Structure 1
Amino acid sequence: MKQLMLTLSLMFSIIACLASCDKDNLPLNNTEEMATDNTVKSNKVRIKIGASTFTATLLDNPTANAFKALLPLTINMKELNNNEKFFDFPKSLPTNSSVPASIQSGDLMMYGANTLVLFYKGFTTAYSYTKIGKIDDVTGLTAALGAGDVKVSFEINPTE
């Protein structure tokens, strides 16, 4: 799993570097230089839901870093409890769960080791989650997510 994530991260770095460089300035045979592209180090993620776009700030922890290594990612998130959307990854991500003081609208978390959760309503809970990040401005989030399942795209925000 670790090698797969490293390989995916390296491939994304190479593609991002190729997309952002003109052909006369490409590094030759230097994948290490290409892997340090600043867009990969960004802690800002663009989240697209239908016609709406949100920016989230990821935390600096192993779970958020593993999630970031999977980007860009488009997934179908399922509705649960009229307060969250979730998606089950086929493989586990590293976690360090705890019971949060409360859940806030815009929280992006992992439930267990493979369930990504995007909350759109706040509440208190006794369940444990690993925090990944939070949407910076949740205005319009509930309307964008709607009442049922929804397609959500996550990508590194190249402007941050």
Structure 2
Amino acid sequence: MKKILFLLFVIITSFLFPARASNSLQPDKEEAVTIKMTINQQTFYVELKNNPAAKAFIEQLPLTLTMEELNGNEKFADLPRPLPTRQVKPGTINQGDLMLYGHRTLVLFYETFQTNYGYTPVGRIIAPENLGKLADEKEVIATFTAEKKG
């Protein structure tokens, strides 16, 4: 009987005081990947999401796209190859969001607005303040390169 009580005590105690894993065994958090985007000789930096779509997008770089105007809040272009999707309905699109619509349409949003559409997040412009200037352009040439922020 004493052995059973002792065993029961050990089991209960082990649940009350769980062992802690050492932080040194935990893998380091992945650093965010930043790429360079140039539009009309203006440089922007894009912090990419840590997802399959962003990783596949990097594989297509360097890439130059003619992005067309749509809806007074975005520029879009079809990519040479489709990307994997994991669509979400963000509700709010923010100025500077870089999203994938469908499997191969890359969309750069230069205004913040509400939406019911679904997109796969690819990245976000780090300092999007000057993107509003894109509204006046019917189309822009956007070049994406794997250069890191200086």
Q: Same fold (TM over 0.5)?
A: yes
Q: Does the CA contact (< 8 Å) of 1:52 and 1:144 recur in 2?
A: no
Q: Which has the higher helix share?
A: 1
Using the TM superposition, give the Cα deviation of residue 159 of structure 1 relative to its aligned residue in structure 2, in angstroms. Answer: 4.5
**Which structure 1 residue ranges, 4+ long, deviate > 3 Å from structure 2?**
none
**Hey, what does 1:134 align to over in structure 2?**
124
TM-score computed with the length of structure 1 as normaliser: 0.70
Aligned to 1:94: 84
2:102 aligns with 112
Q: Tell me the equivalent position of 1:22.
A: none
Residue of 41, 45, 49 corresponding to 1:55: 45
Structure 2 equivalent of residue 79 of structure 1? 69
Q: Which runs of 5+ in 1 are unaligned?
A: 1-40
Normalization by structure 2: what TM-score?
0.74
Percent identity between matched residues is: 42
For structure 2, list consecutive stretches of 5 or more residues without a partner in the other structure. Answer: 1-30
Alpha carbon RMSD of aligned pairs, Å?
1.7
Q: Which protein is richer in strand relative to its size? A: 2
Instruction: Output the CA distance in 1 between the equivalents of 2:80 and 2:38.
Output: 22
8 A contact 1:82–1:147 mirrored in 2? no
Greater Rg by CA: 2
The answer to whether 1:158 aligns with 2:138 is no
SS at match of 1:66: helix
TM-aligned CA distance change 1:125 to 1:155, over 3 Å? same
